[in-house]
Amino acid sequence: MANDGQKDPIGDNAPTGNGRPINLDVEGDDRNTETRDQSHGVKDAGQKGDAPKTTDRSGYYNEDDLHVWKDRYLRRNEDPSRRDPKTGGMSAPKKITFKYYHVTLNIGHPPKPYFLDIDTGSDLTWLQCDAPCIKCTRAPHALYKPNKNLVRCEDPLCASLHWPANKPCETPDDQCDYEIEYADHGSSMGVLIRDSFPLRLINGSVAGPRLIFGCGYNQEVPDSFDPPYTDGVLGLTGGQLSIVSQLHKQGITRNILGHCLSGKGGGFLFFGNDLVPSSRVVWVPMLLNSLEKRYVLGPTELLYGNRATGVKGLLVVFDSGSTYSYLSSDAYKATLAIVKEDLNGKQLKDAVEDQNLPVCWKGAKPFKSIHDVKNYFKPLVLRFTKPKNMQLQLPPSAYLIITKHGNACLGILNGSEVGLGNDNILGDISLQDKMVIYDNEKQQIGWVAANCDRLLKTDRDYIGGSSQPFASNMDILEEHLKEEL
């Protein structure tokens, strides 16, 4: 019998294990972003002291390890009227809403809070940094200030970042530079540093590990994109630089993490295995890729309801850094065709005037919520061949959004039109309302339907006589693309 991972939602209790989850404060904020250029100049490369040298050299880095597919811009189908006169490329649709889940982490001594975009598509955590900052985006907190805490090239984690590994720097004492270029041509340039991350464990103890992360002093953002209102990125893949990998290496927690993203906004993030249920979780082995360390599953067959779409052999990437989900061109076209065919006679019309997303439908009257359209659409199903008959069901709420115009729009996009090639990405829209667990020790990913609006009942930390959860509320950040002129 197939296991679809959608039965018996959890939310009020879960068994505890022997892991030591981390206490995470999670918050959100409004979107009101602008780019600022701080022209503080560049430190002299020969300047003494342990301060970063903010030069214009890009350094070496493993592009495959750090490549993250961010859906910061979209392109319509080939419509000549939407050509960008400046670049010749397709212009982006108007006012597309992007949502970003972020977590608050305290960093430094004394500790200061920072909002970090939760990203299971990359391993490097980085903060905007006053080194000084050459170019930084507007952020909710003051820029992080490094204090004689540079990581040198001789550090093994620097070698894991750099490519080619045998020539990362000129000398072992050099600072460890990095540069990440994202799929949307945004980038972060900086240097690796080490600082304390005060963390409270489930057993009540406090850990203050010194972890390595990026001090980003030069962030480039495409003109058509307003960056999320965060201080940086929390990289959570299985790479050596990932925060959870570093915590595991120091013996602080198991190399396991999970998130529960609520479709209403909010949720929680955890490290360790105490929140992992002992039953009802669908487990599928990761595809091992020594270069990229991304969370990849497959091969899988794509169904619409009980109907085969003809799409087989898909490999899918779990990426919380992506708002929407993406399919390669052939898979996208086949899926869209079968959805449209199934809608025949259901009194829905194309809403071509709604430019929130490329494909939208309208009813006789505006839809108020996703519940209004559930009878029109069927679940999308990813059926895995190994292990046989394991399924990930995506109900309409996991691939549709309701726009402010009251239309239902497809939240699965053609990845080939935004430079993703044959990659297939499961973004936040498809990961909501389920607990997703990344077990880097057993090399498997699991999921189970869950109520992500509240924390699971389990042991609590006690601080000053009051009960404190070791994972707490998460919020969504919303982004709007501006129309290109």
Residues 6+ apart with CB under 8 A from 360: 350, 351, 352, 354, 403, 407, 408, 409, 410
- Cβ-contact 20, 471 below 8 angstroms: no
* 303 or 461: which leads in pLDDT: 303
- Which residue is associated with the tokens 């990659």? 423
DSSP bridge partners of 399 = none
CA distance 297 to 277: 21
* 265 or 286: which leads in pLDDT: 286
Region 208-234: mean pLDDT is 86
Residue 68 pLDDT: 31
**187 SS3 class:** strand
List 71, 117, 119, 231, catalytic entry: 119
Domain edges within the chain = 35-480
Q: Each residue of 43-69: pLDDT tens digit?
A: 322 233 355 665 443 222 222 222 233
Encoded amino acid at 176, one letter: C
Residue 35 pLDDT: 28
- DSSP sequence for 339-404: HHHHHTTSS-EE-TT--SSSSEEE-SS---SGGGGTTT---EEEEETTTTTEEEEE-GGGTEEE-T
Find out whether the peptide bond into 198 is cis, omega within 30 degrees of 0: no
Angle at 301 between CA 410 and CA 345, to 5 degrees: 45
Residue 399 pLDDT: 97
List 319, 433, 439, 461, catalytic entry: 319
* 120 or 90: which leads in pLDDT: 120
Strand pairing category for 232-235 and 296-304: unpaired
And the tokens for 240?
């050596």
Residue 98 pLDDT: 65
Region 352-379: mean pLDDT is 94
Active site residue 319: yes
Q: How many CB atoms sit inside 10 A of residue 306's CB?
A: 8
**332 SS3 class:** helix
CA distance 373 to 387: 32
Active site residue 223: no
The least confident of 143-152, 197-206, 236-245 is 197-206
- Which residue is associated with the tokens 């990961």? 431
And the tokens for 61?
């880095």
And the tokens for 282?
């669908």
CA distance 357 to 350: 12
Residue 478 pLDDT: 35
* pTM for the predicted model, two decimal places: 0.79
Confidence class for position 420, pLDDT limits 50, 70, 90: confident
Q: How many CB atoms sit inside 10 A of residue 334's CB?
A: 17
Please state which CATH number belongs to domain 35-480: 2.40.70.10
CA distance 164 to 171: 15
